[in-house]
Homo-oligomer: A and B are copies of this chain.
Amino acid sequence: MSLQGKKIAILIAPRGTEEPEFVKPREAVMQAGATVTVIGLEAGEAETVNGDLDPGGRYAVDAAIEGASASQFDGLVIPGGCVGADKLRASKDVIALVHDFVAQGKPIGVICHGPWTLVEADVVRGRKLTSYPTLQTDIRNAGGEWVDQEVVTDQGLVTSRNPKDLPAFCAKIVEEFSEGRHAGQAESA
């Protein structure tokens, strides 16, 4: 499966994004040939975590969220990490970007606590998805159908539960990013 010529964006919070959920999907789409842009809340560096609270790595932010547009990319990855995902959902610019990806029918991969951004963008209504289990009530209350599966694909929306699901998640996002736009996805926005 080749992502040659595809442009993929991956979000990172200033602190608290889950290390492997950032590193592994980025690696997977790059190895498939995509160009990856790391989008942060601000320019500079971001600091990931491992597990709940243990230090991860430091990563350069390629572009600040202000000015980023879904039209510049073919796909989006949203990692988890409780604190990181909580920071991402607090950004109006992040939520606008997520909403625009869905509105344009472009594929999105979201893992662990990442789906809070989908709840905030109000794009889970009528969609089937999974997440870290603590989000299931928030997702159901937002109108989504929450299921407990390693990886769930619904019209270009790929979701997984935690770092253990990363092999399945990475394979599926490469597949969906390769397929391109999903017209059905745009109906949720």
Contact = CB atoms under 8 A, between A and B. Distances in A.
18 contacts: A15-B52, A15-B53, A16-B52, A16-B53, A49-B53, A53-B83, A82-B82, A83-B83, A86-B113, A86-B134, A89-B137, A90-B134, A116-B134, A120-B137, A138-B138, A138-B141, A141-B141, A141-B142
B83 A52 contact: yes
B90 A82 contact: no
Interface string A1-40: 0000000000000011000000000000000000000000
Please give the count of copies of this chain that the complex contains: 2
A133 interface: yes
A157 interface: no
B90 A86 contact: no
A138 to B, nearest CB: 5
Nearest to A121: B137
Contacts of A133: 90
Contacts of A15: 52-53
Nearest to A138: B138
Interface string A31-59: 00000000000000000010011000000
Nearest to A13: B52
A119 interface: yes
Contacts of A82: 16, 82-83, 86
Contacts of A116: 134
A108 to B, nearest CB: 18
Interface string A134-147: 10011001100000
Interface in A89-132: 89-90, 113, 116, 119-120
Contacts of A142: 137, 141
Given A53-B53, A82-B83, 16 more contacts: A15-B52, A16-B52, A16-B53, A16-B82, A49-B53, A52-B83, A52-B87, A53-B83, A86-B134, A90-B134, A116-B134, A119-B141, A137-B142, A138-B138, A141-B141, A141-B142
